[in-house]
Amino acid sequence: MKNTKTICFLLSLSVSLLSIGFTNNLNAQIKTTVKQIEYETKTIKVNDDDFAYRIVENNSNTNIPIILLNHTRGNLDNWDPALINKLASERTVITFNNRGVASSSGQTPESFAQMAEDAFQFIKALKYEKVDILGFSIGGCVAQELLMQHQDIVRKAVIAGSAPLGARSINKRDPEIAALVQRASSLGLKEFQALFFNASDNSRKLGEDFWNRKAESKYPKDVEVGAESAKAQAIARENWGNGELIVSDYKKITTPILVTGGKTDVQMPVQNSMELFNLLPNAQLILYPDAGHGFLFQYYDLFGGDVNRFLNSK
């Protein structure tokens, strides 16, 4: 009987020690590698203009940052803080305003090709030889041009809620949606939900959550995108949609690419994501249900995890 008690005690002690060891290992695994965030908007000189940017650095072994390319009328404040934190748990994340946008000086060009060249010059000014990129909406069009012009600098790319050159559907939006995009005044929550989220209660609620996360940002507020810059972006978008698709140009893009989209996108219809997937020789495709243009903010944890897995994969 005494031996039995001794054995039970030893087994219990072993399990306890294993549990402590497991807990310590788990804590070590989930410990964040993000450096102390300095809530500061920085500027860097790019061909005589000042580009505004924010950087969340990471202590991990991944020395390749991810550069985020923004949507129409988007400034630094339009990125989801929760998505930035998710991505920054494994790599350095850099958001920026391209030439002439919001707090960046200069004149916004009327073509995605020139926007891509400006983005390339920004990357070079930061002295990076290799980067990952995430282009959202028109930022995805800029990402495509960047891949066509300077493929060597991009290790991997994520194209979110975008469209290939010559996608006629992006210029055939519902007139009410187009009017909201082009509206001179800032959007309220309801208008923003209509543009970026599905009509379901769940999607609209998650859109409101995103809206509140943005409002709680610790960064100094960025300036609004001006009318001149918004007009230039609209011209670039229209020209992109009316352009001529050259399939051979896409076949030359051998960079690994993750194409993503929301099922009910009213700004960049989801069939464009599927067409991009078919055009690009080394692409993967993920589509998100019950989600519109802002699927990456609606599902920030899921989307961020998908992006991290893709960028980490060999």
Task: DSSP letter for 58, please.
Answer: B
For 235-276, the pLDDT digits (tens) are: 999 999 999 999 999 999 999 999 999 999 999 999 999 999
User: Rounded distance, CA 70 to CA 51, Å?
Assistant: 14
Q: Which of 54, 45, 248, 280 is nearest to 154 (CA)?
A: 280
- Give the pLDDT score at 176: 77
**Mean pLDDT, rounded, for 58-86:** 92
DSSP 51-114: EEEEEE-B-SS----EEEE--TT--GGGS-HHHHHHHHTTS-EEEE--TTSTTS-S---SSHHH
User: Rounded distance, CA 297 to CA 260, Å?
Assistant: 13
Helices 227-242, 138-149: axis angle to 10 degrees equals 70
CATH number for the region 40-312 comes to 3.40.50.1820
Extents of the domains making up the chain: 40-312
Q: What angle do CA 80, 122, 312 make, to 5 degrees?
A: 55
For 119-132, the pLDDT digits (tens) are: 999 999 999 999 99
CB of 298 closer than 8 Å to CB of 193 = no
Which structure tokens are listed for 312? 């980490």
CB of 59 closer than 8 Å to CB of 126 = no
**Which pTM was predicted?**
0.87
Q: Is pLDDT at 52 greater than 70 in this prediction? A: yes
